[in-house]
Structure 1
Amino acid sequence: MNRVRLRWRRPRGTGEYAAACVVALAGVVLGFQMMVAAWDEAVRAWPVLAVAGVLSLVYGGRRILSAARARTVQAAMLADLRITLAEIDALNDQEFEIALRDLLIRDGWAARKVGRQGDQAADVIGQNAQLGRIVVQAKHTRVGGKVGSQVMYQVKGTAGPVHGADTAVVVTNGTFTRDAKMWGERHGIHWVDRDRLRTWAEHGTPLHQLLRLPARAPRRASIRRAAA
């Protein structure tokens, strides 16, 4: 079946020009009448609109205050957070990542859990005005498990280039091989093994003190990612 193609053409003759002007004028008049009707309706309904606006402002304000109170309560609860190694050993992988996030928040970091499939060696990311951006890779193992150098390679390859980290840390409730520790120290990848984890989580020593992290200005890339 042939499709009919419609084409616009210029008016021809005085009669067609006059008809086009009449149609255009009618469109203008109709648009003006619609604007006047909308204005009249708004004038009649302004009390309702005003009340709705006030209610929206009150609702939004209460939501903001409620969120602020919740953050204050959470910060107060986390300020005294202590987690024993026995409790950490009983966690699963996801719970371990959440625990590390809460410990960072306790220490003054704005931290969030990001670990998931394809996380590119980052399970928790934190931001601190004085210490910059930290990326944590969590390795929850059975008691006696060891973390090897391969994890250090992965973190080194993504912490700075992908996540904009100023500090990269691998945390485990187990231990690290000697090669993993040496390679990490040589290439600026911090490690927290079972003994250090006890000091951090159970005894309450802040991570930046435990690792002796220097104060630094965050990278520009870090600031952009944190705002995203």
Structure 2
Amino acid sequence: MIISQALADMLEQSETDCMSDGLEAIRAREGNPEGVEVKRFGAGRDENRVHPSDLDKAVMLLTSGEEKRSMNLETTRVRLEDLSQIDYEIHIGKSAAVEYREVMILKFIGSYGFGSGGNSDANYMRAMGEAALEAWDPDALILDLSHLEYEWGDMLDYVFDLGVDKYANRPFPKAMVVSERCEEGIRTLLQGLYSPKGIEETGWVFRSLEDAWNYVEMKLVEYKSK
């Protein structure tokens, strides 16, 4: 059997009409819950039908209710820097005690909010710190807070836990540097509000970068020997 052009056109038109009728039936449901829209482009000789010769121009658009809702979503552009005015610096140095080991100095500069007012500062510092550890993967970390103004705020200890997940299965020595800008606040955070203990009794907090560096170097040697 040889199919004539007229028969081929009729079959193609029937397929198009079938698809259109199905979508129209979905759209006709009460409230149009699926959010269906049916539009035709490239109408042919009959304004209400797509002529077979224009089938390649016919496009049916179905927009689901979910897609329609997403188009109306209201969003706000945010950045990590919006959380805090605190600045940071990252420095990397090679260990003098153990070959192929590197030490990161992560320095925070600025003023930490008082009490809960510093929560967003803590979140920012933790996010920046974790990103730095992922990017450079150091073997030890010195958290330099000597240029951070800090009085009180429990969430700062969230920053002290930098690397706890990433280095859960391998030794990762850490030290911290403080100054008069933050020492008393950090001492009471670590030792307790009414504790008479000095900050040096923590064993890993120091008043100079040199002492902190020597401490993590010692730990790197200790871990290597095990």
With normalisation by structure 1, the TM-score equals 0.31
Report which of the two structures shows the higher radius of gyration computed on alpha carbons.
2
> Higher helix fraction: Structure 1 or Structure 2?
1
With a CA cutoff of 8 Å and minimum separation of 6, indicate the structure with the bigger relative contact order.
1
With normalisation by structure 2, the TM-score equals 0.32
